[in-house]
Structure 1
Amino acid sequence: MKALSLPMVLLLFTASCVAAPAEPEVLPSPASGIGRALQSSVSLVVDDGGRADGFGSAIVLNEQGYLVTAHHVVDGAMGITVLMAGGRAAAARVVAEDPVGDIAILQTKFVPEVMVPVSPAGSCAVGDDVLSVGNPFGTSRLGGSPSVARGIVSAISRSFVSEKTGRIYVNCVQHDAPTNPGNSGGGIFNVRGQLLGMNVLINTPQDTASESGVAFALPASALLNAARRLLAGEKILHGWLGSRGYRGVLWMNTQGLGRLGTMLREVEDGSPAYQAGMQAGDVIVSVTWWPGANAMRWPASLGGDERDWLEVEDALPVGRPVSVKISRGGRELDFSLTVADRTLRR
């Protein structure tokens, strides 16, 4: 682990034309939700070339032995072993990956019947209960089965980029379930055992890799969509203009009202932004793409597109021209550039 959101059924008695009271919602027992989550989870031991074993977790995608995990767990692995309940183990290999999105697809040939493909939850909300399943500190070596921790959803729609690696995380679920090194690639689930997301990061002081109560998970819908695309042989692209990172700034209009804006921290040499003449400290005011009758625009102003800038940039069409308006020293400047594909930094 790297440091750093039921319908009720109404029965009608037609003979009397009187509506009966709604049936009370029947929630699964905590034990059944935990059991379902465990059956959709496995632990990983990663051979990183003889330096030391690494540890992580993975989520079961289907009955063909396909698993999804965090790319940073298996990046550069010389070998990957899947640990299962009852002390059983099986080799796995990477068959598809999205390094920038921190997603890797594994396949193992041995799939016991107790492994159950994950079922995604419809949504989650702040305050919802969370079950975090994984392999903290490699503890699955002591018995095979992953560990389970409890918490709540602390926030949703958290987006950030790693300036060190270039990996981008969009619309993450923040939760406070105990999360440690080895939990990366493992799932967070609701009380029904349905997937809410995949653990990718923890936030700790002074780069100390330990549980802090602040963990982030890629949302289930985006994760499983990416997994489907990767299994279909598709290369996932990530739009990028050229800044290594961004800083939030308060953007105010002439009425004294505002919102958080985005300032470029460092412009990478040779990038589209660099070639266009953009500089560190520039604040993005608006971006327009698909010029013409079908133009789309992201304005950094009240009443505009409410998406986070990183979500917008990531979805920009790679290889297509965009127009960017920035604010620099109180002046607004316009730039034209072509969207590049964000790459992983080594």
Structure 2
Amino acid sequence: MSNREPPLNDRTIDMPAMGFAVTLVLLAGHVAGDGSTPPGDDDFAARRARVQVAQSARIELIRRLTPSVVCIFPKDNRAGGGSGVLIDADGYGLTNYHVVAPLLPSREGEGGLADGNLYPLEVLGLDPVGDVAMFRLKSDSPFHAATLGNSDTLAVGDETLALGNPFLLAEDFTPTVTFGIVSGLHRYQPGAGRALIYSDCIQVDASINPGNSGGPLFDMTGKLIGINGRVSIEERGRINVGVGYAITINQIRRFIPALRAGLTTQHGAAGFTVADGPDGVTVDRIEKDCAAARAGIRVGDRLRQFAGTPIRSANHFLSLLGTYPAGWPVEAVLERGDITIKFRGRLEASPLPRPRGARDGAQRKMPDPFAPIPPDSEANRRAVRRALKLFIEFCGGSDALNRTMKLEWSGRRFNVDLPGNAPIPIERDEEKPPGTADLPPGAAPSDIERMIRWELYGAEPNAPRSPFQVVGSDEVDGRIAVVLELKKHDVHQPRIGLDDETGELLFVEFTHGTQAVRARYEYGEVKRSGTLRLPMRRRIHEDDRLVAEEQYDSAIAVGP
């Protein structure tokens, strides 16, 4: 018998055995021909133990995440649906707009959890442009919720878990789990006209199929990093080919305050468009009465940065712009010759999708997914109560606020336009106002700010008729604010921004003067004064231009 190996085409290969052998080699870390001594049994056992530990950790992670995943169905109908994920113990959750569109305009559906139970589901806020919606499950008991992550920290190659209900397989509402990696970042997927646009989204190879829409994408620490919603499919069937897309959680975070309040949100528009050219990304068209035009931006200016991000191309700018709500504060850096132009302003509102309506007089069998939906007033009242309760708790409690009759401030003011920016001493006593009477149109900005702030200090979250309503979201120093409008002071159009997670006061803004200047006081550096927590820094803007900063050394809360 010859010792020579037979030709390859004469060999019989046992694939299962070969796969097992390859697994052993990989576990042992052995590379043939490297001249090293193969590891012994102890080394192999240690490596196998590490693999088993990693597998056990992954199984435990999935077990922990499963209770937060929702199977979404129309009311009394389990023939169709999608997926969602709970983000707080009160039953609030996220999904895709196209998942809940069939539930409109009744806003009612059902949500199944892995405990085997169906819960009443109500649809809250809607983002038809970005394909996001918020819902709430109803129960007397708290729910298990996912923890929001930071999608900006993702890198291509990071491992992910996608959970959901593809093909309605989960008859007991236990989600299907698929595993993969981040295949790409900052992808742009056009939508249907103005709707269902995926800007700056995550591409994954974890298997995502019909029914996964609206379900969560987790990183391997268990943090929610995206909402699955779209998949590239084989042309002749709705079959996944390993290319799925998820909306980043950082984009969704900016819309959550409005969605929680039952609002239909709009995305931002810059007021100008750009094109790629030999000199880079340049402005090629600008609307006449937009904030950018009023700031002096012209056609031909080169766009270098937008919202702190260097702009690589016109498509990159469009993708980034689509992640922000209307009215969001942004900064842009442009160049004109050797001149650098810095622009700070607020995004215009991009139009909502047009209602489809009936064609040629025919009656639609399904509800128009883009028909106007009235705001949910009860959801708004709940959102106001939540925001005010968080604010009161952050300040030190209702007793601490109610006992405060006077605030004594001591510090310095720096006027930006003052030569040398010399500090001006501040010694100010604020008496608690006896009531909430409106101020005349000519009132000083400092008096208006004080009035609004004291009205907030005295707010009652459970009042049957609250003077506040949620109107949207905003941002201060990277922190997302829920924006409350004080309805009864129409002359000054006051708005208050509270940190959406902690309740901390972030800003007060209002209109004043004959020129209707929009003033904005931004707060920070909170310190405790007795049982009360107060901001020790104020930045004062007028029409988005910084005019002064106040820094306080002490703030004393005086009780009765």
| TM beyond 0.5 | yes
From 119, 132, 154, the equivalent of 1:124 is 154
**Secondary structure of the residue that 1:34 maps to in structure 2?**
helix
Counterparts of residues 21-36 of structure 1 (less than 5 Å): 29-36=57-64
Aligned to 1:166: 195
Take 2:303 and 2:181, find their aligned partners in 1: how far apart are those partners?
Answer: 32
Aligned amino acid, residue 173 of structure 1? I
From 239, 243, 249, the equivalent of 1:220 is 249
Take 2:126 and 2:146, find their aligned partners in 1: how far apart are those partners?
Answer: 19
Offset of residue 209 of structure 1: 2.3
Q: Structure 1 residues 111 and 155, CA, compared in 2 at 3 Å: closer, same or farther? A: farther
Counterparts of residues 1-346 of structure 1 (less than 5 Å): 29-46=57-74, 53-77=79-103, 79-110=108-139, 115-122=143-150, 123-140=153-170, 142-164=171-193, 166-206=195-235, 208-232=237-261, 236-240=265-269, 251=276, 253=278, 289=292, 291-292=294-295, 298=303, 305-306=311-312, 308-314=316-322, 315=324, 340-345=349-354, 346=356
Take 1:124 and 1:157, find their aligned partners in 2: how far apart are those partners?
Answer: 11
TM-score by length of structure 1 reads: 0.66
Take 1:208 and 1:232, find their aligned partners in 2: how far apart are those partners?
Answer: 38
Q: Structure 1 residues 88 and 47, CA, compared in 2 at 3 Å: closer, same or farther? A: closer
Q: Structure 1 residues 226 and 186, CA, compared in 2 at 3 Å: closer, same or farther? A: same
**Secondary structure of the residue that 2:242 maps to in structure 1?**
coil
**Unpaired runs of at least 5, structure 1:** 1-25, 265-271, 277-286, 319-337
**Is residue 255–residue 325 contact of structure 2 (8 Å, CA) maintained in 1?**
no
Offset of residue 312 of structure 1: 4.8
Take 2:165 and 2:140, find their aligned partners in 1: how far apart are those partners?
Answer: 19
Q: Structure 1 residues 252 and 290, CA, compared in 2 at 3 Å: closer, same or farther? A: closer
Q: Structure 1 residues 205 and 339, CA, compared in 2 at 3 Å: closer, same or farther? A: farther
Aligned amino acid, residue 45 of structure 1? F
Offset of residue 111 of structure 1: 6.4
Take 1:197 and 1:124, find their aligned partners in 2: how far apart are those partners?
Answer: 11
Offset of residue 160 of structure 1: 2.8
1:279-300: CA deviation from partner (whole Å, max 9, x where unpaired)? xxxxxxxx99253279996369
Take 1:305 and 1:316, find their aligned partners in 2: how far apart are those partners?
Answer: 19
Q: Structure 1 residues 316 and 227, CA, compared in 2 at 3 Å: closer, same or farther? A: closer
Take 1:343 and 1:298, find their aligned partners in 2: how far apart are those partners?
Answer: 26
**Is residue 100–residue 342 contact of structure 1 (8 Å, CA) maintained in 2?**
no
Q: Structure 1 residues 290 and 208, CA, compared in 2 at 3 Å: closer, same or farther? A: farther
Aligned amino acid, residue 94 of structure 2? V
Q: Structure 1 residues 288 and 340, CA, compared in 2 at 3 Å: closer, same or farther? A: closer
Q: Structure 1 residues 221 and 234, CA, compared in 2 at 3 Å: closer, same or farther? A: same
Bigger relative contact order, structure 1 or 2 (CA pairs below 8 A, ≥6 apart):
1
Offset of residue 306 of structure 1: 3.5
**Is residue 94–residue 106 contact of structure 1 (8 Å, CA) maintained in 2?**
yes
**Is residue 186–residue 198 contact of structure 1 (8 Å, CA) maintained in 2?**
yes
Take 1:33 and 1:111, find their aligned partners in 2: how far apart are those partners?
Answer: 27
Take 2:325 and 2:177, find their aligned partners in 1: how far apart are those partners?
Answer: 38
Take 1:200 and 1:342, find their aligned partners in 2: how far apart are those partners?
Answer: 22
Take 1:64 and 1:233, find their aligned partners in 2: how far apart are those partners?
Answer: 15
Q: Structure 1 residues 241 and 155, CA, compared in 2 at 3 Å: closer, same or farther? A: same
Offset of residue 237 of structure 1: 2.1
1:152-199: CA deviation from partner (whole Å, max 9, x where unpaired)? 100111123213462222221110001100001100111222111000
Take 2:129 and 2:140, find their aligned partners in 1: how far apart are those partners?
Answer: 29
**Is residue 47–residue 53 contact of structure 1 (8 Å, CA) maintained in 2?**
no
**Secondary structure of the residue that 2:168 maps to in structure 1?**
helix
Offset of residue 80 of structure 1: 1.7
TM-score by length of structure 2 reads: 0.42
Take 2:350 and 2:236, find their aligned partners in 1: how far apart are those partners?
Answer: 29
Aligned amino acid, residue 146 of structure 1? P
Offset of residue 127 of structure 1: 0.4
Q: Structure 1 residues 112 and 42, CA, compared in 2 at 3 Å: closer, same or farther? A: farther
Aligned amino acid, residue 351 of structure 2? R
Take 1:316 and 1:64, find their aligned partners in 2: how far apart are those partners?
Answer: 25
Take 2:98 and 2:119, find their aligned partners in 1: how far apart are those partners?
Answer: 20
Offset of residue 211 of structure 1: 1.2
Take 1:111 and 1:161, find their aligned partners in 2: how far apart are those partners?
Answer: 41
* Root-mean-square deviation over aligned CA pairs: 4.2
Aligned to 1:334: none
- What is the total number of aligned residue pairs between the two structures? 273
**Secondary structure of the residue that 1:38 maps to in structure 2?**
helix
Take 2:226 and 2:86, find their aligned partners in 1: how far apart are those partners?
Answer: 13
1:206-252: CA deviation from partner (whole Å, max 9, x where unpaired)? 3742212111101112223322332246653223589xxx9xx9x45
Aligned amino acid, residue 72 of structure 2? L
Offset of residue 72 of structure 1: 0.3
**Secondary structure of the residue that 1:183 maps to in structure 2?**
coil
Take 1:305 and 1:87, find their aligned partners in 2: how far apart are those partners?
Answer: 48
1:283-336: CA deviation from partner (whole Å, max 9, x where unpaired)? xxxx99253279996369xx9524723235434967xxxxxxxxxxxxxxxxxx
Q: Structure 1 residues 102 and 294, CA, compared in 2 at 3 Å: closer, same or farther? A: same
